[in-house]
Chain A
Amino acid sequence: MSSNNSVMVFIQQDDAKVADVSIELLSKARDLANQLKTSVSGVLIGSEVKGEAEKLIQYGADEIFIIEDKRLGDYTPMPYTKIMIEIIKKIKPQIVLYGATTTGRDIGPRVASNLKVGLTADCTSLEIGDYSSKGIDYSNILYQIRPAFGGNIVATIVSPEKKPQMATVREGVMKVGTPDSKYKGKITPFEVVLIDSDFPSVVIRKIKEEKLVDLKGSQVIVSGGMGVGSKENFDLVQELAHVLGGEVGASRAAVDAGFITKEHQVGQTGTTVRPKLYIACGISGAIQHRAGMAESARIIAINTDHEAPIFQISNYGIVGDLNDVIPKFIKAFKAKG
């Protein structure tokens, strides 16, 4: 099957290893392509990345375009943008997806700006549907769904008149499909002429900072919001997290108020998490926060306001002051555990 009119995924690699979000997007692209009765393509750019291409096919990719060049080892915007523009112009996909990572959000807007097509940032859901405007009916359009306006609303965005329809998609929201080692796809080298002036940026060094906060890897997250009230009161949230062997999370409001650092932020502009247990302490549950934690297996909400929206998505609700509830929780767990 030709990749013309395909659902295309920009495959992000870091140190020649494919990013998790790109696998998530391939899985989603497979779903969308099935609905649209078209194929899935991927674009893998790097220095020596051929070895990674095979495993991409297992997730339902029909064709992976590979562009290898020693100078492409580290992502920089100018050459990567040039390659994406050329490949999109040649292959003409109907949809292009990027992870909403620092890389995807760097390249996606440049490509959109050059091609004068739409780009929706940080989508949390993608669907296919119809759209009508000014007497024109468009069928099989990509619904690009994202929280907007500080997370207070959910907007469905379409760009029906221009192809490709493009979106950056938040990490961790699309489910990874089951790899199928028998899936047949092809790997196609793609030629782009690159000259030295295409590489104005040089990555002098990359520094990994040890992750002090590991929200994604935690099975239990105890988060605090504005209701915690102060930096000092956050100690109690920390203590509960510690006792349960979990990590400490926070709402954007709590981070903005300076109660805790940004690495702890869960939500649309923070980290998306899916732990076995999420305990929301003094968090009202604005959609911007819910977008980052609603998929948790179990949710406990502790809040003084019984009408707080967080209760609507919780499995257990405790109406009360967290300073009063958390010590009881700790005591109960220590007694049982």
Chain B
Amino acid sequence: MGLNLIVLVKQVPDTQNVGGDAMKEDGTVNRAVLPAIFNPEDLHALEAALVLKDENPGSKVHIITMGPPSAVQVLKDSLYRGADFVALISDRKFAGADTLATSYALKCAIEKVGDYDIVFCGRQAIDGDTAQVGPQTAEKLGINQITNVSKIENIDIKKKEIEARRSIEGGYEIIKAPFPILLTVTDEGYPPRPPSVIRVMTYKNASAEMTEAGYDESYIDSSIDRISETAINLWDINAINADVESCGLAGSPTKVKEIESIILKSEDIKMVENTEDSISGMVHELISDHTLG
């Protein structure tokens, strides 16, 4: 008896390697020049699920992402690393979603997948740094959560219980809780495995296919040699039975009023020559005004 595992992942612009041309003149972000990557902590969440799958034969790892068609890349990457089932939820009507509308769409997609024991998410995505979608999805599903999980200490399949280590300020706590549960995973305990060469060969030409007719369960019996062309499920708003009023901009209570890149003003900076005398003078000033010493 294995575990039914779902991992929520996101493709994000690589905000941590922002070059000089990342911001436009008007202060908005030039997304076109930022490479799209697998959100780093989501890779750790995927790894945590794959570790559980390795330890509990018969387990299945399902991946769900929401995004534009180009987001299939993170699904292919998930397949390369060991995922069993992947789905992209994509629809123009999801555009402009804040974390609330996003969590609603993800909840609908999770319910379409069906029974699950554990839902995994990365702690937060590097483009928003909000850490909200995980807990918001858990609330919509009506299930418990453990956020900031650095390590799964124990899984009791019979009792359907998990013991996890949760990072908190100044230390950690060990939480015990029953399934179903949503975990948000930090980048501490699960360094991602590399893609498997065999799986890359199998899935590199995988493409998205509409499965509006309903959820295809044939994957359950499939192994790695399944037909790769149909490996990626593409679900639109109807496929996940989502209410249009709760999606995208319409379902988002938060609005961006203003975005600006801060214009820094040089106040009274004192430039100090890179010489022993000048630096010594600065140190003297700092000591005499009690900043140092």
* Contact, CB under 8 Å: B258 / A102: no
Judged by a CB distance under 8 angstroms, whether A192 is at the interface is no
Residues of chain B in range 63-94 having any CB-CB distance to chain A below 8 Å: none
Alpha-carbon gap, A240 to B259, bound state (A): 38
Judged by a CB distance under 8 angstroms, whether B27 is at the interface is yes
* Contact, CB under 8 Å: B291 / A276: yes
Q: Mark B50-74, 1 if CB is under 8 A from A, else 0.
A: 0000000000000000000000000
Contact of A116 among B253, B272, B287 (CB under 8 A): B253
Chain B residues with Cβ below 8 Å from A331 are: 276
Contact of A311 among B134, B138, B169, B266 (CB under 8 A): B266
Alpha-carbon gap, A122 to B129, bound state (A): 8
User: A81-B139, A205-B174 in contact; A332/B254 too (CB < 8 A)?
Assistant: no
* Contact, CB under 8 Å: A110 / B280: no
User: A155-B258, A158-B257, A253-B16 in contact; A317/B291 too (CB < 8 A)?
Assistant: no
Residues of chain A in range 97-128 having any CB-CB distance to chain B below 8 Å: 101-103, 105-114, 116-122
Residues of chain A in range 182-198 having any CB-CB distance to chain B below 8 Å: none
- Stretch from B95-103, B212-220, B233-241 that touches the partner: B95-103
- Stretch from B112-120, B140-148, B221-229 that touches the partner: B140-148
With CB as the reference atom, state the residue of chain A lying closest to B28.
Answer: A153
Judged by a CB distance under 8 angstroms, whether B122 is at the interface is no
Judged by a CB distance under 8 angstroms, whether A203 is at the interface is yes
How many of chain A's residues touch chain B, expressed as a range?
Answer: 35 or more
* Contact, CB under 8 Å: B100 / A118: yes
* Contact, CB under 8 Å: B170 / A202: no
User: A102-B168, A298-B286 in contact; A133/B270 too (CB < 8 A)?
Assistant: no
Chain B residues with Cβ below 8 Å from A309 are: 264
* Contact, CB under 8 Å: B269 / A312: yes
User: A119-B132, A149-B127, A202-B177 in contact; A316/B272 too (CB < 8 A)?
Assistant: yes
Contact residues of A: prevailing secondary structure: mixed
User: A315-B270, A328-B276 in contact; A157/B23 too (CB < 8 A)?
Assistant: no
* Contact, CB under 8 Å: A329 / B169: no
Alpha-carbon gap, A61 to B80, bound state (A): 55
* Contact, CB under 8 Å: B291 / A277: yes
Chain A residues with Cβ below 8 Å from B282 are: 300, 316, 332
Contact of B126 among A150, A202, A253, A276 (CB under 8 A): A150
B107 to chain A, nearest CB (A): 9
* Contact, CB under 8 Å: A109 / B135: yes
* Contact, CB under 8 Å: A297 / B283: no
Q: Mark A193-213, 1 if CB is under 8 A from B, else 0.
A: 000000011111111110100
Alpha-carbon gap, A314 to B282, bound state (A): 13
Extra contacts, 18 of them, besides A105-B147, A160-B255, A316-B272 (Cβ < 8 A), are A77-B135, A78-B144, A101-B169, A108-B132, A109-B131, A113-B140, A116-B253, A121-B131, A148-B259, A153-B260, A155-B258, A201-B144, A208-B170, A269-B129, A290-B262, A315-B269, A329-B283, A336-B287
Q: Which 7 A-B pairs have the closest CB atoms?
A: A150-B15, A312-B264, A320-B274, A118-B253, A121-B130, A113-B136, A109-B135
Chain B residues with CB under 8 Å of chain A are 13, 15-16, 18, 22-23, 27-29, 98-100, 103, 126-140, 144-148, 163, 166-178, 252-262, 264-276, 279-280, 282-284, 286-287, 291-293
